[in-house]
């Protein structure tokens, strides 16, 4: 039997059975021990699908267009990382690729691979490993840091060139709160239980 601690009064109790959408209340102080998200799979699936579409748009369309002395240069997420690589900044290029492309792609892809079959009651191989990797990818997904960096660069470059934000930039900006939303709605306990039920 698992034990849970009360955040309010530090009481340690055996973890009670709680229905989805319910909450466990501390018997000593009345504080909330934990909640079970209602429809966590459906919310997470919907947000992960939206995130997948935005991620494709963020990578397929131009991120920024620069116009300098009549010359227009377009950059995409991938070409930004590639340009850093060509300049010999291998560590920075690898880090940008990992934190803005690879980690979010794995996080979204694996999340879909785990929650979509739960919703449709299908059994898929490797769901346990996939869900573990969703959690492992999360700390490496740092698109908001990248976006702040882009904004700083934009302010500095604004005097030198005309800069037009591309479709990908808007998709990217929207993707950040949606991906945060998948984490907020995701009730790990429920997903683990559902994976166990399907095995
Ligand atoms: Zn308590």
Ligand 1 geometric centre to CA of 182 (Å): 29
Ligand 1 geometric centre to CA of 25 (Å): 8
Are the C-beta atoms of 179 and 137 separated by less than 8 Å? no
CA distance 150 to 102: 18
Joined together, the tokens standing for residue 165 give 């934000």
Domain co-membership, 44 together with 32: no
Burial state string for 4-27 with b = 16 or more CB within 10 A and e = fewer than 16: eebeeeeeeeeeeeeeeeeebebe
Domain co-membership, 24 together with 101: no
Hey, is 91 helix, strand or coil? helix
Ligand 1 geometric centre to CA of 102 (Å): 42
Domain co-membership, 6 together with 46: no
Which CATH number do you get for residue 179? Answer: 1.20.140
Domain co-membership, 7 together with 44: no
Ligand 1 geometric centre to CA of 20 (Å): 21
What is the reported pLDDT for 69?
Answer: 82
Number of Cβ atoms within 10 Å of the Cβ of 165: 15
| Enclosing domain of residue 9 | 1-36
In a structure prediction context, what are the per-residue pLDDT tens digits for the chain, which is 199 residues long?
688 888 889 999 898 888 888 889 998 999 888 888 888 899 999 999 999 999 999 999 998 888 888 888 888 888 888 999 999 999 999 999 999 999 999 999 999 999 999 999 999 999 999 999 998 988 888 888 888 888 888 888 888 888 888 899 999 999 999 999 998 888 888 898 888 888 7
Ligand 1 geometric centre to CA of 15 (Å): 13
Domain co-membership, 28 together with 47: no
* 105 burial via Cβ count (<10 Å: 0-12, 13-18, 19+): middle
Domain count of the chain? 2
């Amino acid at each position: 039997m698992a034990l849970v601690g009360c955040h309010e009064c530090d009481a340690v109790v055996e973890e009670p059975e709680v229905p989805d959408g319910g909450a466990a209340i501390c018997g000593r102080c009345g504080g909330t021990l934990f909640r079970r998200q209602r429809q966590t799979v459906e919310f997470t699936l919907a947000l992960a699908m939206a995130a997948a579409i935005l991620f494709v748009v963020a990578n397929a369309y131009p991120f920024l267009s620069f116009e300098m002395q009549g010359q227009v240069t377009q950059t995409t997420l991938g070409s930004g990382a590639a340009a850093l690589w060509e300049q010999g900044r291998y560590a920075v290029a690898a880090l940008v690729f990992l934190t803005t492309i690879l980690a979010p792609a794995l996080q979204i892809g694996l999340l879909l691979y785990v929650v979509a079959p739960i919703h449709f009651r299908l059994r898929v191989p490797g769901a346990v490993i996939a869900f573990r990797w969703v959690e492992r990818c999360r700390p490496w997904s740092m698109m908001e840091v990248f976006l702040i960096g882009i904004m700083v660069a934009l302010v500095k470059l604004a005097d030198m060139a005309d800069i037009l934000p591309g479709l990908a930039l808007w998709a990217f900006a929207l993707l950040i709160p949606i991906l945060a939303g998948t984490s907020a709605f995701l009730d790990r306990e429920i997903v683990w239980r559902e994976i166990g039920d399907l095995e």
